[in-house]
Structure 1
Amino acid sequence: MNSELALSETTPGFVALVGAGPGHPGLLTLRGRECLQDCEVVLYDGLSNVEMLVHAPQAVHQCVGKHGQSRIWKQDEIIAEMIRHAKEGKRVVRLKGGDPAVFARTSEEVNALKAERIPFEIVPGITAALAAGSYAGIPITHRGIASAVALVTGHEEPGKAKSDLDWPALARFPGTLVIYMGVTTAKQWTDALIGSGKDPKTPCAILRRCSLPDQQKIQCRLDEVAGHLTPASKFRPPVITIVGEVTGLAESMDWFSRRPLSGKNVLVTRPKDQANQLAKPLEELGANVIVQPAIKICPPDDWSEVDAAIDQIETFDSLVFTSRNGVKSFLDRLLDVGRDMRCLGGLKIAVVGDATANVLATYHLRADWIPESFDADALLTTLQNAEPPLKSTLVVRTQRGRDVVTDGLRASGTQVREVVAYENWDVPEMDPATRGKIDEQPLDWITLTSPATARNVHRWLGDFIGETRIAVISPLTAQTVRELGWRVDAVAASATMQSLTQAILDAETT
């Protein structure tokens, strides 16, 4: 084992300096994910996507600064905090944007760790210059155009008496220049290049938030770069500028901005642990997804009614699930109290739709009844037509909602027992950060997946939503939205996230 990495009694902690990549959470390396899963503390900054922290739910997450939102820690403060945790015997991840070896001050952190005899590891990441080729259609090398690349800082250490950069040599460089951190100093470095002989007409591409859904790109000449970046509020960091003929290939190689929902801002309002089922397919189509749960799913305060029903499960001839959450909550509880799926062997099972049936299948159970359309009325009709007629039914539901199924079955002579296996509650208010994003980037779409969600989002946003379009999961949700005074622009053909995504796509392309 490398002596730098070997643990000892005097230095029981460990530090992994992990490159988070250019921004997209999927561009974290497998090794980087392993380090996050194994650590106890994560020190992260504004250049690393906070979505990656999902890989470290067991760790303390400590932000060391994000432009415009929190104080930016000085480098010596970050080093001191990293060493403090390591000396306490903790496994620490220092999560850094891009690659730790590219303009990330990693050598300073490594020197400090070595001085304290703290073992460490450096995990590479994808730096923005390399991501630009794939996400902006700009290969930084190309046969016949550029066979060399220079990565250049646009922001040298403050206080230097003289620049370490040889601007005349860079002006003559026979390839592509990639300027990092050059927003506030754009006038200085573009003047330096032009003054050293670089053609003012040299094509350039300014790239912001590379690989993220809201990635932006400006193509211009070298002598126009400073005008696009000054003042810095025009095009805020993180930004790189690519200087060279390869930027002319951006149009022909671009796939990122040509996706069908590229540039569309979509609000996903599902509960936090379910939002990704809708957010991910929308993002893959190019949408900039903002997740803001409108309801939260909670276990019931008292499980006694559920437990009693499970204890008497053999007395029922049928089991009805009116939602996906009901399936998961009830069956997880059944396992928690020591039963297993064999106890359901004598029951027939009904679900409200295909999505609920899919959750049921994860428990190796198959639905006997699935209505053709996703709503309580269709489910009731299906159950009323069951042969032989239902005698004793257990209905699993939430604490609020329509009583169509239970009332209808009772009216048909079926003995019905209801149990609340989960509760859903309104989220009182929109997160201030989400509100800020919406104010900065008006929404193109709002997605609503239940009447309760629709009512709560309407309470947040009021009657006027401008040109924002509404996509809903079902006709019942559509009815609620119209009753609230909003229009409905897309309705899912079936109650699945795939169908809801397709409804939005169809509305955008027709």
Structure 2
Amino acid sequence: MRNIILGTRASKLALAQVEEIKRALEKLDPDLEVILKRIKTRGDILKDWMPGRGLEEKGLFVKEIEDALLDCKIDLAVHSMKDVPVELPPGLAIAAITKRVDPRDVLISRDGLLLDELPRNARIGTSSPRRKLQLVFYQEHLQIVPLRGNLDTRLRKLREKEIDAIVVAAAGLVRLGWQNRITQYLPYQIMLPAGGQGALGIEIRQADEDIKRILQPLNHDDSRIAITAERCFLRGMGGGCQMPVAVFGQVQEGEVTLKAVIVASNRERILSEEMKGSSRNPEELGMELANKVRTMGFKKDSSSFVFENPRLSGRVYLVGAGPGDPGLISLKGIECISKADVIIYDRLVNKRLLGYVKDKCKLVYMGKLPGESLSQAQINEMMVREARKGKTVVRLKGGDPFLFGRGGEEVEFLAQNNIGFEIVPGISSALAAPMYAGIPVTYRKFSSCLTIVTGHEDPSKERPVVNWANLARQEGTLVILMGLANLSQIVKKLISAGKSKNTPCAVISWGTTPNQKVVEGLLGEMVEKAKGARPPGVIVIGEVVGLRGKLNWFEKKPLFGKRVLITRPVVQAKSLVGLLEERGSEVVEFPTIEISSLSNYRKLDLAIEKLADYDWIIFSSPNGVDHFWKRMNVAGKDARILSKSKIGAIGPKTAANLRHMGIIADFLPDEYSSEGIIEGIEKLGIKGKRILLPRADIAPSFLPEGLRKLGARVEEVAAYRTELSSGGNSAIIRDSLRKGKIDIIIFTSSSTVNNFIKLVGDIDLAGARVACIGPITAREAEKSGMKPDIIPEEHTMEGLVEEIINVLSNPTTRKA
């Protein structure tokens, strides 16, 4: 028979609680005997103590018991979790939290009256600031009478008519079997409970693994998760059970809902806030909700909270943009970019990420090259300055903000200036660049450890932190960031310290981008081999480099290393950009067309009013569908008005847009050339039919002319405008073309050809291949003096990209 000693207070409720745990433990292990040891706490001795009267309140009912634990006089202690301080003494831990009993507060009234039935100026007994302020906020006229003592004492004072009602925790009455005395269970909307209320916590010495193992079956996961979130919230607010703060968590299907109520001591304001988060991270949820409440103006003041109108202040998000490939940023990073008022970004941030910004977002380029970059102090000051204007600021940094990125210095400055901030991690080039080069940084046969170091320490350091001699002796993979400028010194230090000059080594420049270049060889020859390598660069040293020959994948993509210029409008370019980048090309966007609304919709609106008169409505572009539907919405109409007309779609993307609107096209041509479209329509028997063509204000004439030749009555109506774009980077495009830095130019309509010539001029394309989506566009290119090299048989974006790959993979057509 093994004995363990359980420490407890001597009140009826405390004894009922420990008896519950004693029975459970002895049932789990019949050879176990639990011996109770009664301990008086300071809260039991100070009969006249009231919250907020200057005495230390922390641990009032647990300190002496915890001292007995630390002195090994007892083996464990049972507390109501609401009484346990949020910070435990060193060496102690909560080993188990039992299943929560009803966490609500209850009203016990002398005459059986509900809270709303109590007379004006009714006297309600409670010494809890949390209960007091919530009660008074609910009904101003109530008189709150300080009331201490155990449940027996409180109920006696109620019977002796000193007070009209008392408010206590339901859980205590349930454990004592006194539920019949409850007049009313107070709903959470009136009285949110204290953090931890309703659950028992079992405290032990942290190092006592044996007791921890014995208690494990008593731990209730959902209760533990909810109360962990509650206690982290209390810790974040600087409060405990004697503070006027209520917090309650509920777990359901892997999600925690955490609600908090705080009342300012002057009753000026009550704040009720709710937040949800994953049950895997209850600590994070609690701290996040506390941070939100603090930023709304609630501050701890002695034993209460006061509300101060917060100064206008925004928030700064430090976001890792990843290593270069724009697809490697996190979803949260994109979310931050899309809501930012100000974005402060570095040189190595892929500019494609700036495409997620909202209108009127201020973009600030900070650079990171000698001569162009602002000082770190200027960057810090700008973040604080913009945040104090109430702005949402994103500090967008290449790679991960905290890996050799000075992110720690930046958030330290924000913290010193009381600016709220969040960190969004990014994928570091230390991992991503080797992956894209086909080099696994760990591999069971060769390397089970990884070391990442900087090759560019702060020159002002008196002593270098990187110990190259130690690194030379280590097994595994060594990855060095920002080391290209010091490559010769690094190689020399490693070899002189004993690293074999025959160790495989790779230098990766511009990793994860279409400009990626990899130089591989042996450590001893790398300085000579990598002379042409340019930053940003990652140096990888170790046997894993030898796997690149088998695992290289990125550089084998069919369009890897090709720079492709696309001329589509920005709103339409996304799918084409995705297709090209997926196949490894670097995309240069040069929109020659801007899509805009009409200045006058009178003709389109008239056509929409008489849609029932048309036999066919034929859409020739996704833009036509979108703008046509917008005007239908303005007119208060929906797809039902099209029931008498047949619908045609020129192109699968147009058909897809119609499907999104709930319409399946009756006609979709098999071939997207002008001849193929007209031939397909001719089979429909359209002679004498009325046909509506909602399209761009400037559009090719072949379709309406062809329809009229077939005997149709055609009405063209502009649904949107196509305008010449501003061509802000025309000079850069001209220079790139002259220098042969563009491999392929893609035209997807006649307008893109004409506008390209207007913006760039008649210049030598220096061998760049011209790709046109179809014969109509190709003829326009020929008229402009260009020779189309690529025209797909399938006139779609997918067909165009595949034809580009086919032509480039044929050695007889490869450009010189």
TM-score by length of 1: 0.91
Amino acid at match of 1:431: S
Establish whether residue 17 from structure 1 lines up as the match of residue 318 from structure 2.
yes
CA shift for structure 1 position 455: 3.3
Q: Which residue of 2 aligns with 1:55?
A: 356
Amino acid at match of 2:552: D
CA shift for structure 1 position 276: 1.7
Aligned pair partner of 1:217 in 515, 518, 522: 518
Q: 1:291 to 1:70 in 2, by over 3 A?
A: farther
CA shift for structure 1 position 46: 1.4
- 2:377 and 2:530 map into 1 onto residues whose CA distance is 29
What do residues 207-266 of structure 1 show as CA deviations (whole Å, max 9, x unaligned)? 122211221111133344444565xxx433221111222111111111111112222222
Percent identical across equivalent pairs? 36
CA contact (8 A) 1:318 1:390 kept: no
SS of 2:606's equivalent in the other structure is helix
Amino acid at match of 1:442: K
CA shift for structure 1 position 458: 4.6
Q: Which residue of 1 aligns with 2:283?
A: none
Choose 363-372 or 75-84, whichever is displaced more. 363-372
Choose 101-110 or 365-374, whichever is displaced more. 365-374
Q: Which residue of 2 aligns with 1:262?
A: 560
Q: Which residue of 1 aligns with 2:648?
A: 350
Larger radius of gyration: 2
- 2:790 and 2:455 map into 1 onto residues whose CA distance is 47
Aligned pair partner of 2:366 in 65, 76, 80: 65
Q: Which residue of 1 aligns with 2:779?
A: 479
Amino acid at match of 2:318: L
CA contact (8 A) 1:395 1:418 kept: yes
CA contact (8 A) 1:202 1:243 kept: yes
Pairs within 5 Å for 1:223-238: 223-227=524-528, 234-238=532-536
Q: Which residue of 2 aligns with 1:328?
A: 626
Q: 1:122 to 1:355 in 2, by over 3 A?
A: closer
Aligned pair partner of 1:426 in 717, 724, 733: 724
CA shift for structure 1 position 428: 5.7
Establish whether residue 454 from structure 1 lines up as the match of residue 454 from structure 2.
no
CA contact (8 A) 1:132 1:139 kept: no
CA shift for structure 1 position 493: 2.1
Q: Which residue of 1 aligns with 2:660?
A: 362
Choose 360-369 or 377-386, whichever is displaced more. 377-386
CA shift for structure 1 position 377: 4.1
Q: 1:265 to 1:162 in 2, by over 3 A?
A: same
Q: Which residue of 2 aligns with 1:202?
A: 503
CA shift for structure 1 position 79: 0.8
CA contact (8 A) 2:745 2:771 kept: yes
SS of 1:16's equivalent in the other structure is strand
Choose 180-189 or 105-114, whichever is displaced more. 180-189
Choose 472-481 or 97-106, whichever is displaced more. 472-481
What do residues 376-400 of structure 1 show as CA deviations (whole Å, max 9, x unaligned)? 4443444444346343222222222
Unaligned runs of 5+ in 2: 1-285, 298-309, 811-816
Q: 1:391 to 1:454 in 2, by over 3 A?
A: same
Q: Which residue of 2 aligns with 1:139?
A: 440
What do residues 308-343 of structure 1 show as CA deviations (whole Å, max 9, x unaligned)? 211222222221223332222222222233221111
Q: 1:80 to 1:394 in 2, by over 3 A?
A: same
What do residues 97-135 of structure 1 show as CA deviations (whole Å, max 9, x unaligned)? 111221011221122122122222222111111113421
CA contact (8 A) 1:377 1:404 kept: no
CA contact (8 A) 1:44 1:61 kept: no
Aligned pair partner of 1:151 in 452, 458, 478: 452
Pairs within 5 Å for 1:280-291: 280-291=578-589
Q: 1:438 to 1:483 in 2, by over 3 A?
A: closer
Choose 90-99 or 403-412, whichever is displaced more. 403-412
CA shift for structure 1 position 34: 2.9
CA contact (8 A) 1:463 1:485 kept: no
Amino acid at match of 1:81: M
What do residues 63-86 of structure 1 show as CA deviations (whole Å, max 9, x unaligned)? 342356982121111111111122
Aligned pair partner of 1:308 in 602, 606, 623: 606
Q: 1:74 to 1:229 in 2, by over 3 A?
A: farther
Q: Which residue of 1 aligns with 2:769?
A: 469
Amino acid at match of 1:507: V
CA contact (8 A) 1:222 1:243 kept: yes
Q: Which residue of 2 aligns with 1:294?
A: 592
Q: 1:408 to 1:113 in 2, by over 3 A?
A: closer
Matched pairs, number: 507
Q: Which residue of 1 aligns with 2:8?
A: none
Q: 1:200 to 1:334 in 2, by over 3 A?
A: same
Aligned pair partner of 1:273 in 566, 571, 586: 571
SS of 1:275's equivalent in the other structure is helix
CA contact (8 A) 1:482 1:488 kept: yes
- 2:755 and 2:518 map into 1 onto residues whose CA distance is 36
Aligned pair partner of 1:503 in 786, 794, 803: 803
Amino acid at match of 1:180: L
CA contact (8 A) 2:315 2:421 kept: yes
Amino acid at match of 2:804: I
Q: 1:175 to 1:441 in 2, by over 3 A?
A: farther
Pairs within 5 Å for 1:406-421: 406-421=704-719
SS of 2:771's equivalent in the other structure is strand
Establish whether residue 442 from structure 1 lines up as the match of residue 741 from structure 2.
yes
CA shift for structure 1 position 148: 1.9
Q: Which has the higher contact order (CA 8 A, sep 6+)?
A: 1
- 2:706 and 2:437 map into 1 onto residues whose CA distance is 57
Choose 305-314 or 394-403, whichever is displaced more. 394-403
CA contact (8 A) 1:352 1:376 kept: no
Q: Which residue of 1 aligns with 2:794?
A: 494
SS of 2:485's equivalent in the other structure is coil
CA shift for structure 1 position 441: 6.0
Pairs within 5 Å for 1:367-386: 367-386=665-684
Amino acid at match of 1:504: I
- 1:48 and 1:477 map into 2 onto residues whose CA distance is 35
- 1:61 and 1:436 map into 2 onto residues whose CA distance is 28
CA contact (8 A) 1:463 1:486 kept: no
- 1:97 and 1:402 map into 2 onto residues whose CA distance is 45
CA shift for structure 1 position 196: 2.7
CA contact (8 A) 1:265 1:441 kept: no
- 1:28 and 1:68 map into 2 onto residues whose CA distance is 23
Q: Which residue of 1 aligns with 2:336?
A: 35
- 2:318 and 2:419 map into 1 onto residues whose CA distance is 12
Establish whether residue 125 from structure 1 lines up as the match of residue 426 from structure 2.
yes
Q: 1:180 to 1:145 in 2, by over 3 A?
A: same
Q: 1:354 to 1:147 in 2, by over 3 A?
A: closer
Choose 474-483 or 97-106, whichever is displaced more. 474-483
Pairs within 5 Å for 1:171-190: 171-190=472-491
What do residues 421-475 of structure 1 show as CA deviations (whole Å, max 9, x unaligned)? 1222333645344455556662222211112222333552636323322221112
Unaligned runs of 5+ in 1: none
Q: 1:433 to 1:238 in 2, by over 3 A?
A: farther
SS of 1:237's equivalent in the other structure is coil
- 2:361 and 2:750 map into 1 onto residues whose CA distance is 37
| CA RMSD after TM alignment | 2.6
- 2:551 and 2:360 map into 1 onto residues whose CA distance is 40
CA contact (8 A) 2:616 2:690 kept: yes
CA contact (8 A) 2:686 2:712 kept: no
CA contact (8 A) 1:11 1:118 kept: no
